[in-house]
Structure 1
Amino acid sequence: MTGNMADHLTLAFGLLGNVVSFMVFLAPIPTFYKVYKRKSTEGFQSAPYVVGLFSAMLWIYYALLKSNVMLLITINSVGCVIETLYICFFLFYAPKKARMESMKLIILLIVVGFGLIVVLTQFLANGVTRGVIVGWICLVFSLCVFVAPLGVLRQVIKTKSVEYMPILLSVALTLSAVMWFFYGLLLGDFNIAIPNVLGFTFGIIQMILYFVYKNKKPVIDEKVSRCEDKVAELAEQKLPEFRDQKIIDVVNLKALLHADIHPVFPQNGHKANHAVFEPQTLPNVPNCTIEVGA
């Protein structure tokens, strides 16, 4: 492959990587629209956006130490702006406890973490060594970020539900990993290429799991259905008992009513044309007089 062809391919993959990564950065917009509608962050977490900001800053610092990765600076600069907007939006709508936790994470990761990396590499390393150290830090951190979806994959397999694994985001992340892998490979920069091998692998696994489980009935729903069937079965078993109990109660009530029939005669000694039945006082049954015509 000639030098010009390699340069053109590197530029092409870099530009495509910028476009796909930009789409990935915009993926959380529906989430923040929900936050805006509800005026609350509810169960959403700020950690993914803080980690995204830290990663973008780290790659910009690495790119500034290199001489031929300008496209890495452009997309991560855009990423820094977008992730910062997400974090500010989150902090505005988050309850006090979540806001405090987010501020702690920002201070720990952005201020302390990134600050220490910059200070230590500036004072303890120089030239090429500095770039190598920062490159290894980017490599290890990127691997950790790509390993994070393992929790989602485990949840999908356990629940047989792809509700929390959107296929479009999985496709976008996979394409992004492919573009940046070839970009790093053509540049001969394995700090860029190697993490994206893992990203591509997990992206393919996510898409396979999506097509395997997209039409499956979630395990939770099956448990609920079994529970509802059990309740219905128990209700059918109990229904005859309730019916028999009501019949017995009615028979007992009639027996009690007929047990204390006192015909009432008028004072003139002639039989009245009606009798008055005075039932015994029953618990939870109001006292009443039942008249039966002659």
Structure 2
Amino acid sequence: MALHHGLTLTVGILGTIISFMVYLAPVPTFHKVYKEKSIKGFESFPYVFELFISMLWIHYAILKRAALLIITNSAGCVMETLYIVIFLFYAPKKSKIQTVLLILLIALGYSLMVISTLFLANGQKRIQIVEWICLVFKLIVFAAPLCIMRKVIRTKNVEFMPFPLSFFQTLGAVTWFFYWLLLKDYKFAFPNLLGFILGIVQMGLYIAYRNSKEISPEKPMVNPGLNQGVLQPNDSVASVIDIADDNNLKGKD
């Protein structure tokens, strides 16, 4: 029993370290924003949404009294908030207004979720409801890699999908799969297989198109802000996906 607990803790710590690595993935993007004093085609949506998901996991972790989850997702909230602040500092007025409205909408939704689960459910039932809310939002995020992979195939350009980010997200999917498996929480364990498969496909696409000379019609800055489908207890991590940016690109095709 002690060995099983130690193994679970070790895998959880390893997954948390990997999560931190992915949290840091947007740093080069924001360094470029800082140097150029411009957000160019950069979107704030992935980071605001990632902040929302991390907040969901913190609420879940508090209910479960899971210190590791609280620490990791708190770090995620700090990083995502920092990215959003930098974005707001350099964004034009229209983008600032849109981002603030999005933040207010997310805050309202989160507040309603917390209040409703606190007053309409008790004990284990409350935890189960929050678990399923977290799972639903993670399943929504699962569709995101398909958008970025389609963009890479269409443009034959891997700038939208950095290899290191795909690698760490794939590694994270494997790690968190075993973490949830050790906890015998299968509803959170097996969806990570999807994250692993998508990660392998992404790395395969990178290898296939890494030497391609074709350049996309426009070169928006990569927004590694949403997790590509790695279902982890700290949610944390962000993925290369920018659905909003992809829609903008389609509108210009």
Q: Which structure has the larger Rg over C-alpha atoms?
A: 1
Pair 1:84–1:219, CA change in 2 (3 A):
closer
Equivalent residue letter for 1:208: G
Pair 1:191–1:61, CA change in 2 (3 A):
farther
- Which of 61, 67, 72 is 2:69 aligned to? 72
Equivalent residue letter for 1:78: A
Partner of 2:157: 161
Pair 1:38–1:156, CA change in 2 (3 A):
same
Partner of 2:224: none
Q: Does 1:128 align with 2:127?
A: no
1:41-52 equivalences under 5 Å are 41-52=39-50
Task: Give me the whole-angstrom Cα distance separating, in 1, the residues matched to 2:155 and 2:196.
Answer: 24
Kept in 1, the 8 Å contact 2:47–2:83? The answer is yes
Partner of 1:89: 86
TM-score by length of 2: 0.81
Equivalent residue letter for 1:81: V
Identity over the aligned pairs, expressed in percent?
57
Partner of 1:22: 20
Task: Give me the whole-angstrom Cα distance separating, in 2, the residues matched to 1:106 and 1:191.
Answer: 29
| Larger relative contact order (Cα-Cα within 8 Å, sequence gap ≥ 6) | 2
Runs of 4+, deviation exceeding 6 Å: none
Equivalent residue letter for 1:7: H
Kept in 2, the 8 Å contact 1:136–1:191? The answer is no
Task: Give me the whole-angstrom Cα distance separating, in 2, the residues matched to 1:192 and 1:141.
Answer: 12
1:53-68 equivalences under 5 Å are 53-67=51-65
Q: CA deviation at 1:15?
A: 0.7
TM-score by length of 1: 0.70
Partner of 1:107: 104
1:136-215 equivalences under 5 Å are 136-215=132-211
Task: For residue 40 of structure 1, give the secondary structure of its aligned residue in structure 2.
Answer: coil
Query: What RMSD in Å do the two structures reach over aligned CA positions?
Result: 1.6
- Measured against aligned partners, the alpha-carbon deviations of 1:112-138 in whole angstroms (never above 9, x if no partner) come to 111111011111111111111100010
Equivalent residue letter for 1:33: H
Q: CA deviation at 1:104?
A: 1.0
Partner of 2:223: none
Kept in 1, the 8 Å contact 2:158–2:206? The answer is yes
Q: CA deviation at 1:219?
A: 7.2
Gaps of 5+ in 1: 222-294
Q: CA deviation at 1:198?
A: 2.1
Equivalent residue letter for 2:205: L
